[in-house]
Structure 1
């Protein structure tokens, strides 16, 4: 697993994941809101399997 998520992409994924999970816990979203676990995990681990398949990398070289 080589990191392929970086910078702003990573921050947005974590924030979106937290927002979806929080909204679900608050009752504002139905059970599908738990999908927020996916962007949260990909942001925390800096790795997105779909990016690997598509050959995308938002992490700066270095």
Structure 2
């Protein structure tokens, strides 16, 4: 379905950053702009799927 265009190091960074942002959503329930942590869904999803729409649009790939 999706062609892989996210390499292993890029994927690991996306997974870690996405998980950290989502953890912030749950760790700081009183933060005024807490919903901004939900942006972590994007790098987490692209890391899990190993496919990035922006990479595809610009013809870029970190996958070997």
CA distance in structure 2 between the aligned counterparts of 1:36 and 1:13, rounded to whole angstroms: 9
Root-mean-square deviation (Å): 1.2
User: Post-superposition, which runs of at least 4 consecutive aligned residues in structure 1 deviate over 3 A?
Assistant: none
Give 1 or 2 for the bigger CA radius of gyration: 2
C-alpha separation between the residues in 1 aligned to 2:14 and 2:24?
A: 15
| Number of residue pairs the alignment of both structures matches | 60
1:13 aligns with 2:17: no
Structure 2 regions of 5+ residues with no counterpart?
A: none
Q: What are the ranges of 5 or more consecutive residues in structure 1 without an aligned counterpart? A: none
